[in-house]
Structure 1
């Protein structure tokens, strides 16, 4: 083969351009979220430092973080966080242990659904905190009434989500399992629950922040140790730094708890299309 047979494209061929690197959408979302938080924190700090905001009503963020660090070293924060987390998770687990089986039974039994459906429909939109005086009268002013109040608040979204998830199921997998001779309890564990699991987990993700909010509110109303109790005590003594330190503690605790449940959802639904996306 001579050089005359070499085409012009072969002689002057330029190297192929390097493929462009695309930033993942999740990375972009994370950067945007971090940027918004940093901007709000900077506005809070400099606004309070330079007089744009009243430093008593809104103390500088650095002062709040110093108080938080001091309380952390003394162990006060750990005790308050531990008590609040214990009450929130205890009530949440009680609600889940009762609400998930009840939602499943309601979807499979007309008699149970006939009895509980009006109660769930009436109780769901009600302000649950209105029952706190009743729980205090029935139980005590310590952890029992607080935990029951949290469980009562978390119960309704869990039952509603479980009932909706186990009712609106595709019939074809159920019919296929029955055609292969599967028994009803096998269909329940191997077909119903896996198919309804995304909806059940959604109900749990709705109920957990509700439980956190209810815990802090009950601690504020009833007093004692805990994040809510510490915040209301600081407010009574006009300690605005202590109040905002409690708010930061609630934000951090809520973020960690919610993200932990999201991670658990991703692990439990590793087979589901939503996790693959």
Structure 2
């Protein structure tokens, strides 16, 4: 007997002529990769910039053409100065970011897992995080000297606080039902942290890495502008003082490439660590 013959059964409705089927939405709004869009946008922007400069719409004094900035970049590479500036900046950035991140992860997990640590850490982070970290560079120079230590300390201090907030927020946002389920199965505290809390907090932690890396690059440039012989920040400051806009744009381009590289590396880390999503 068909369903339509059953007493009380709702009659079947046939789709209207010409009606389109509803697309399947089981992907959870997962973004589809479009690898060509980003390079195409950059190419269109630079092409418009170059065309505007060659046609005289953009003054070379105000903003030089991309070809002029590329020539300044090539001259910098041929002279050997590019390697010196990059080596100095990357050394400071890597040291400050890694040490600040490791310390921030430890303190953030302590605040997220232990009530006593949370009561002492959260007010301190709320008090110190809004302070512009570059304003503390003179104090770091007094403490550590004018050398590399003060610059690394500035980057470390600026990286530490957003990492603490990201880790603490990620740990605190893990579903408590999953934690209770782990406890009901007799998992130890360390197993719960390793198998439930850490994977659940990892998306927030990696988002914090992106923010802290951007802050680290900003502080790197500011610290090098105040007192450094070599570094991208020192090169940009010197180019600005000499009104060499082509070199200035080349230095800004180096910072942009550095930021894109860091973002790509963190993106690769996300794909590897968050494969379970």
TM-score range for the pair, normalised by the shorter chain length? 0.7 to 0.9
Instruction: Please state if 1:245 is matched with 2:250.
Output: yes
Is 2:64 aligned against 1:59? yes
Aligned equivalents of 2:243, 2:174: Cα separation in 1: 55
Deviation at 1:176, TM superposition (A): 2.4
TM-score scaled by length of structure 2? 0.84
Give structure 2 stretches of 5+ with no counterpart. Answer: 1-30
In the alignment, which of 168, 171, 177 is matched to residue 172 of structure 1? 177
Correspondence for 1:153: 158
After superposition, where does 1:3-42 map in structure 2 within 5 Å? 25-27=32-34, 30-42=35-47
Query: Does 1:190 find its partner at 2:192?
Result: no
Give the paired residue count.
247
Partner residue of 1:88 out of 84, 93, 110: 93
User: What are structure 1's unaligned runs of at least 5 residues?
Assistant: 1-23, 273-277
Per-residue CA deviation, residues 182-222 of structure 1 (Å, 9 max, x unaligned), is 21122222221111111111111111111011101111122
Q: State TM-score, norm by structure 1.
A: 0.84
User: Does residue 270 of the first structure (1) align with residue 275 of the second (2)?
Assistant: yes
User: Offset at 1:180?
Assistant: 2.6
> Displacement of 1:25 after TM fit?
4.2
- Compute the displacement of 1:37 (Å): 1.6
Which residue pairs with 2:4 in the alignment?
none
Q: Cα RMSD between the aligned structures?
A: 1.6
Following the alignment from structure 1 to structure 2, what is the Cα–Cα distance between the partners of residues 177 and 86?
A: 42
Counterpart for residue 213 of structure 1: 218
Q: Secondary structure at the match of 2:62?
A: coil
How far does the alpha carbon of each residue in 1:89-130 deviate from its partner, in whole angstroms, 9 at most, with x for none?
211111111111111111222221111111111222222111
Distance 1:197 1:36 in 2: 31
Alignment partner of 1:119 is 2:124: yes
Where 1:26 maps in the other structure, the secondary structure is coil
2:164 is aligned with 1:163: no
After TM superposition, list the pairs within 5 Å mapping 1:68-87 onto structure 2. Answer: 68-87=73-92
Distance in 1 (CA, whole Å) between partners of 2:186 and 2:40 is 56
